[in-house]
Amino acid sequence: MRTDGAGVTGAAFTAVLMVELPKASMVETSTMTADREPRDAAAPVRPTVLHVLPQLNQGDVERHCLDIVAALTRASWGVVVASAGGAFVHEVQRAGGLHVTIPLDSDGVLAIRRNARRLVDLIRERDVALIHAHERSAAWSGYHAAFRAEIPFVTSFNSPFPPARRRMHRWNAIMAQGARVIVPSRAVGDHVVETYATDAARIRAIPPGIDSFSFDPRRVSAERLMRLTGAWRLPDGQPMILVPGPIDYGKGLAVVLDAVGRLVRRDLVCILADPGPRFPDEEKALAHLVERHGLAGVVRSVADVKDVPAALMLADVVVTVATAPETFGRVIAEAQAMGRPVIAADRFGARDLMVAGETAWVVPPDEPGRLTDQLREVLALSGADRAALADRAMPYARGRFSREKLGEAIIAVYEDVLAEARARQ
């Protein structure tokens, strides 16, 4: 089952958009399971924020939510996260938040109505002051719960949605309905304003936070590099082009492999690091492109890259030329933090995540020839040039994408929204 609401259509979809909450919204306590005891009522705390998202799996949205949870608890805010559960539930608890299991991955009309009631009950039980929604199906429940409980509603609009018909457009538009709409870049903010007629004054561009402790080249040991070199069977002395996933096995992959083929050299390795499952049609697409460009023995596909900092350290150049919207462009930030050369397609706000030509490079999207020219230039950099690049990119990334700055910016948004709510009372 999809967890983002794409399965709701027709009359059922219209009913979701028109759903109203009944006056009575109490539910049995057995419908929710709390994973941590409530805070001591006597302990001084700031307002409590409820984050809602479908699941807590290991994706960029979930990692972003965890970063916010950790920042809030450090600042003595109360934090509750509601989701259907997942691998990151323990991480929420470790960060100091309370997780409550509610099936927010369900997107049917009745499920959204039930989940909204459960959220209202949770809001009252935990004295929640504000709801922050991160995904569509959870956002619809959160929106109605916030309205019923008369508390502010904030959203994170993480990436543009593909063009959609009227009903799906209305479904997507819930992410633009927050009192503040948090976006990862100005480009995404412009998209929200233009596509959903959102007041630009409600948009807040806050770049992603990265783990500057882990993404520090000084902390990547020789042992870790050797272990990954052996696992990937990297030949000594050959340049390595790293293409981090998720990978678009259609147009995006075609652009990359076309560009690598145009280099007309086979003394290099191109690693496709795709964390997700690969389907038979994607296997065929990859095999076809490898054969077409004569890249047998050059291109290798790997999955489940657990040591991302080490993978970045091994790369002579990191390439991300997505043809579909990315959530945060996090790999651009992480590669710069590691001092590695990175080339990105000039779309979806990539320029907002770098100093183009200084800390990273952008190329026109869908132009393999231009990507080839940039790859050739980067692969020819001298050791001194690479060191100079790292000296520019590393402090830039640490200053712009620190988790501390992320936390400060998010808290400032919450404080503004809560102050407006108090002023209206």
Same structural domain, 16 and 116: yes
408 and 272 in a common domain: no
Written as one string, the DSSP assignment of 108-150 is: SHHHHHHHHHHHHHHHHHHTEEEEEE-SHHHHHHHHHHHHHHT
Place of tokens 């999955």: 303
Closest CA to 52 of 162, 119, 133: 133
The count of other CB atoms within 10 Å of the CB of residue 161 is 19
pLDDT at residue 185 is higher than 60: yes
- Does residue 153 surpass a pLDDT of 70? yes
C-alpha distance from residue 130 to each of 124, 246, 329, 364 (Å): 12, 32, 27, 41
Residue linked to tokens 């630009």: 200
| Gap between the Cα atoms of 425 and 421, Å rounded | 7
Does 410 reside within a domain? yes
Q: Is 240 in the same domain as 344?
A: yes
Residue type, 383: G
Residue 2 is assigned to a structural domain of this protein: no
C-alpha 71 chain-centroid distance: 17
4 in any annotated domain? no
Task: Mark whether 170 and 229 lie in a shared domain.
Answer: no
pLDDT attached to residue 45: 61
Domain containing 35 — which CATH number? 3.40.50.2000
**Nearest in space to 159 (alpha carbons), one of 191, 193, 204:** 191
Q: Are residues 151 and 240 in the same domain?
A: no
Whether the predicted pLDDT of 105 surpasses 80 = yes
Q: Which residues contact 245 (CB under 8 A, 6 or more apart)?
A: 272, 273, 274, 275, 276
Residue 64 in domain: yes
**Residue of 129, 89, 151, 44 lying closest to 411 (CA atoms):** 129
Least confident of 33-42, 176-185, 393-402: 33-42
1 pLDDT higher than 70 = no
Locus of tokens 């929106």? 143
**Can you tell me the mean pLDDT for 179-206?**
94
pLDDT of residue 277: 66
pLDDT at 359 over 60: yes
What pLDDT was estimated at residue 72? 96
Output the CA torsion 312→318→321→324 (10° steps).
0
Nearest of 136, 131, 110 to residue 119 by alpha carbon: 131
Residue 1 domain-assigned (yes or no): no
Do 165 and 290 fall into the same domain? Answer: no
**Residue 156 in this model has a pLDDT that exceeds 60:** yes
| pLDDT(5) > 50 | no
State whether 18 and 159 are in the same domain: yes
- Same domain for 84 and 103? yes
For residues 130-141, average pLDDT: 96
Q: Which residue has the higher pLDDT, 414 or 322?
A: 414
Q: Which residue has the tokens 């633009």?
A: 176
- The answer to whether 333 touches 210, Cβ cutoff 8 Å, is yes
Q: What is the C-alpha separation between 94 and 89, in angstroms, rounded?
A: 9
Please indicate, yes or no, if residue 360 is contained in any of the structural domains. yes
32 and 151 part of one domain:
yes
Find the mean pLDDT for residues 395-408: 92
What percent of the chain lies above the pLDDT cut of 70?
87
In three-state secondary structure terms, 40 is coil
Give the pLDDT band (50/70/90) at residue 26. Answer: very low
Let me know whether 295 and 262 are in one domain: yes
pLDDT for residue 27 is more than 90 = no
Residue 3 lies in a domain: no
Cα–Cα distance between 253 and 108 in angstroms, integer? Answer: 35
More confidently predicted of 289 and 43: 289
Label residue 36 by pLDDT band (50, 70, 90). very low
Q: State pLDDT tens for residues 74-92.
A: 999 999 999 999 989 999 9
- Structure confidence at residue 216 as a pLDDT band (50, 70, 90): very high
Virtual CA dihedral for 348, 350, 352, 356, nearest 10 degrees? -150
- pLDDT over 50 at 3, yes or no: no
Banded model confidence at residue 37, pLDDT cuts 50, 70, 90: very low
- My answer on whether 196 and 299 are in the same domain is no
State if pTM tops 0.85: no
Do residues 56 and 159 share a domain?
yes
- Cα 221 to its chain centre, rounded Å, is 27
Q: Which residue range is the domain that position 346 belongs to?
A: 217-400
Residue 232 confidence (pLDDT) above 50: yes
Q: What total of structural domains would you count in the chain?
A: 2
What per-residue confidence (pLDDT) applies to 381? 96
